[in-house]
């Protein structure tokens, strides 16, 4: 799979995605589905951030609201109370780091960009805050457009599709058009593994991931330690690294440009092996 040459502008840094990159997940929540990913305080956040950067993460993705199935929404105010101390500490300690913030709120997006974040990762794809698209256009930052249905609390009750890949593609085409009309330049596509999809649907979606290349935009795959892995293997999220690595390679072979992961080094090694495979004549 030869990757198209995509570049995104993160706060004046041009990131070339011709070679796949890693986004490391840092959870600032007390209830994330994978306990080991939780950073309980600023010291822990800085430790995790440093390790991820040393191991080869291009992006750090800070999230302060759990999006596990069944999780309740919190307010933007509560989210910012968790986010801002961590973001400020990371920006001060690692000023060259590219920080993404995982949020569904335009209010949060404005606040974190003013504090140094240079990408917004919206698991709702603009569906839970009508001001999000307009805000992204004003901020001028790259935007991860993810597909989901409902909220984390209700999404697993909304898994009816005629053709899962085409239905999601239709939804994303419409939203990309809306973002383009507003002047948003850098859009990344995340089909939303685990969000409003059954285990079987997630595997169908992974198998058809290359369908989304028709959008002509970079693809982000967030498979790390998700239900489709540990439920299928009858293990726990803590035991799902090997399965994550296997599916990350599949995602790369189907066109993923960014792997969003909890474990950076194994993902970096997966990309290195993929690159060797990809360049064998």
Distance, CA of 96 to CA of 82 (rounded, Å) = 22
Q: Would you say residue 128 lies in a domain?
A: yes
Is 226 an annotated catalytic residue? yes
Q: Would you say residue 179 lies in a domain?
A: yes
Whole domain around residue 235: which residue ranges? 21-269
Tell me: pLDDT of 135 over 80. Answer: yes
Q: Would you say residue 123 lies in a domain?
A: yes
Q: Would you say residue 85 lies in a domain?
A: yes
Is 260 an annotated catalytic residue? yes
Q: What's the total number of domains in the chain?
A: 1
| Confidence (pLDDT) at 193 | 96
Q: Which of 68, 226, 231, 265 is catalytic?
A: 226
Q: Would you say residue 277 lies in a domain?
A: no
Q: How far is CA 185 from the centre of its chain?
A: 18
Q: Would you say residue 138 lies in a domain?
A: yes
Q: Which of 21, 197, 225, 260 is catalytic?
A: 260
Angle, helix 241-253 to helix 199-207, in steps of 10 degrees: 40
- Domain CATH code at residue 68: 3.20.20.20
Q: Would you say residue 3 lies in a domain?
A: no
On average, the pLDDT of the chain sits at 92
Q: Would you say residue 106 lies in a domain?
A: yes
| Confidence (pLDDT) at 159 | 82
| Confidence (pLDDT) at 149 | 77
Tell me: pLDDT of 29 over 90. Answer: no
Q: Kindly report, residue by residue over 169-199, the tens digit of the pLDDT.
A: 999 999 999 999 999 999 999 999 999 899 9
Could you please report the per-residue DSSP string of 60-129?
A: EEEE-S--STTPPP--HHHHHHHHHHHHHHHHHH-TT-EEEEE-S-HHHHHHHHHTT--EEEETTTTSS-
């Amino acid at each position: 799979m030869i990757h198209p040459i995509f570049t995104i502008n993160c706060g004046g840094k041009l990131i070339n995605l011709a070679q796949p990159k890693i986004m490391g997940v840092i959870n600032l929540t007390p209830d994330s589905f994978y306990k080991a990913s939780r950073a309980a305080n600023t010291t822990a956040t800085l430790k995790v951030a440093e390790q991820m950067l040393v191991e080869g993460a291009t992006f750090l993705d800070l999230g302060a609201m759990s999006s596990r199935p069944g999780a309740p929404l919190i307010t933007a105010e509560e989210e910012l109370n968790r986010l801002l101390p961590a973001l400020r500490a990371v920006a001060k300690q690692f000023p060259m780091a590219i920080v993404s913030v995982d949020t569904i709120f335009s209010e949060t997006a404005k606040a974190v960009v003013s504090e140094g974040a240079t990408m917004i990762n919206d698991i709702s794809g603009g569906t839970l805050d009508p001001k999000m698209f307009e805000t992204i256009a004003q901020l001028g930052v790259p935007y991860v457009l993810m597909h989901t249905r409902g909220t984390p609390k209700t999404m697993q009750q909304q898994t009816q599709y005629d053709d899962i890949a085409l239905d999601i593609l239709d939804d994303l085409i419409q939203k990309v058009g809306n973002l383009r009309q507003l002047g948003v330049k850098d859009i990344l596509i995340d089909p939303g593994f685990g969000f409003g999809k059954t285990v079987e649907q997630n595997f169908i979606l992974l198998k058809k991931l290359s369908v989304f290349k028709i959008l002509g935009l970079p693809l982000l795959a967030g498979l790390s330690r998700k239900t489709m892995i540990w439920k299928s293997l009858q293990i726990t999220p803590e035991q799902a690294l090997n399965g994550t690595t296997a599916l990350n390679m599949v995602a790369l072979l189907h066109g993923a440009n960014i792997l969003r992961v909890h474990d950076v080094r194994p993902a970096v090694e997966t990309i290195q092996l993929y690159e060797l495979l990809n360049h064998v004549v």
